[in-house]
Amino acid sequence: MTETAVPNVLKSEVLARFVVETPSEAVPDAMVKKAVRHILDSIGAGVAGAVSVEAQRLTAVLREEGEGPGRATLWGRGETMTPVNAALVNGTASHAFELDDTGGCDHSGAVVVPAAVAAVELADRPVTGREFIDAVVIGYDVARRPLEACGAYEPHNGAGFHSTGTCGTFGAAAAAARILGLSVRETQNALGLASSFSSGLWCCVHDGAQSKRMHAGHAAWGGLMSAVLARRGFTGPTHVFEEVWGGFNHSFAPTSSDPDAYLRELGENWKLGRVSIKPHASCRSTHAAIDAVDNLRAAHGFTADDVEEVHVIINPFVYGMCGHATLHPMNSAQLSIPYSVAADLVFGSAGLPSFARARREDPRVAAMMARVRFTVDKSQKDDDEPIVEVTLKDGRSWREHVPMPLGAPTNPVTDEALLRKFRGVVGMVFTEEETEELARTLMALEEVSDFRTEVASLLAREPRTREQFDA
């Protein structure tokens, strides 16, 4: 399907028809297999995030406001809420530890998957694993297109908008509409309504505010709420994607708009294909530097004690976002290249345990962070990865550039590594046996006949601990 195939039709209607009418057999096998990996990864992130400060505080507030048990699962908590609030909590939890995928809306998995799971629990029919997969693939696709229509990541995020929150809500609405069986007109309304929930500013990076985590949850909540409202006959603006006053591009991208991107190669260039899985528990903009250090360490066999200096040559945008050396709260450390690189060197990994408070306060990390130096290269683009130079105390020095960090579609993590990550983070909440059962079920998702009873039920188990991961 391309834009020229449907002239003089509103973009929202074309996208709604794509959501509703795309047959399962039109989704490429490669996207189905990739979706299974991302669904497993996103659910793993969300289960782990059940013990996060953000998820626990958000749940407490909702309970205080009178939210009682509902019909949708709070992953890894053994509790239920209304579906829309479950999407809010689970989406926030999925982004809470920086474990979720990136390169879509940006964090499409933390938005689309929680909304889709909640929609299954709201549906009045059994939803098969394959139906769930199709909805997620379509949700990822719709989540990415508004960002590309804004001129892609660089201008939209550079203007201060967190695209996970501003664009992800459309993907959540699309996935929910597909699962709930909305009509084309209802889906068009849902996409229009989703624009009312577009929000999220990058000012959170200056103090490690927890609002960044909630951007994903709010987008999941808003997308599902949009689909539920549309099913009830609530209307949304059909001109939301047109070049009109008040339209999405007119408001969010007045100088960088690319409106053709909404429909460009629709049904041909599947946006899930560009999304990355994160092997490190930190902002994706820190990963290339971590990978560069790992590559050099593997090649030359040095240890943290051998390092005299780590020199990072970086673009201005990422330096402004990740060049600080703030350790607390944990959010700030996860957005810090100096900490992420230092922790990787000292502890041998930038996985989630390396961001615990005790490790952030380890004096060896502070000493290593003091050896990280930056040069801001204004010739680099916002999405250019840094160049890293490591100099040892004996004078030896090497330079490494990782243009595609580990986990990118062109540099993927193996299934073994993916499952190792899943077991590590889900094992914080569930027993080893429960974790293995969930992993097996998700990896065989195409064979599931009823997602609610075979998958959501596994997420509803009581956690083995309620101890929160200290911020």
Are 67 and 187 found together in one domain? yes
Rounded-to-integer distance, Cα 406 and Cα 411, Å? 5
Residues of the chain with pLDDT under 70: 1-7, 465-471
Tell me, what's the pLDDT at 7? 59
Are 202 and 309 found together in one domain? no
Nearest-CA neighbor of 202 among 192, 189, 187, 215? 215
List b or e across 109-118, with b for residues whose CB sees 16 or more CB atoms inside 10 angstroms. Answer: bbbbbbbbbb
What single-letter DSSP state applies at residue 413? Answer: P
pLDDT tens-digit series, residues 440-461: 999 999 999 999 999 999 999 9
Instruction: Indicate the pairing of strand 372-376 with strand 387-392.
Output: unpaired
Give the 3-state secondary structure of residue 33. helix
Question: What are the backbone angles phi and psi of residue 35, rounded to the nearest 5°?
Answer: -60, -40
List b or e across 70-98, with b for residues whose CB sees 16 or more CB atoms inside 10 angstroms. Answer: bebbbbbbebbbbbbbbbbbbbbbbbbbb
Tell me, what's the pLDDT at 2? 44
Place of tokens 């051998």: 306
Are 115 and 223 found together in one domain? yes
CB count, 10 Å around CB of 470? Answer: 12
Alpha-carbon torsion, ordered 25, 29, 30, 32, to 10 deg: 80
- Percentage above 90 pLDDT, the chain: 94
Are 215 and 321 found together in one domain? no
Range of the domain at 134: 11-277
Tell me, what's the pLDDT at 464? 82
pLDDT tens-digit series, residues 88-138: 999 999 999 999 999 999 999 999 999 999 999 999 999 999 999 999 999
Question: What are the backbone angles phi and psi of residue 390, rounded to the nearest 5°?
Answer: -110, 125
Are 54 and 163 found together in one domain? yes
Interacting residues of 208 by C-beta distance below 8 A, sequence separation 6+: 326, 328, 329, 330, 331, 332, 335
Question: What are the backbone angles phi and psi of residue 307, rounded to the nearest 5°?
Answer: -85, 125
Rounded-to-integer distance, Cα 354 and Cα 3, Å? 47
Output the six-digit token pair for 308: 């005299």
Are 273 and 296 found together in one domain? no
Among residues 232, 260, 277, the one where a domain terminates is: 277
- Alpha helix (H) residue ranges in 181-315: 184-194, 211-231, 248-252, 287-300
Tell me, what's the pLDDT at 162? 97
Q: How many structural domains is the chain composed of?
A: 2
Q: Classify 400 in phi/psi space as left (phi over 0), alpha (psi -120 to 50) or beta.
A: beta
Interacting residues of 355 by C-beta distance below 8 A, sequence separation 6+: 97, 281, 282, 330, 333, 334, 343
Interacting residues of 370 by C-beta distance below 8 A, sequence separation 6+: none
Are 26 and 88 found together in one domain? yes
CA 319, 336, 220, 412 dihedral sign is positive
Residue 366's domain is classified under what CATH number?
3.30.1330.120
Are 250 and 121 found together in one domain? yes
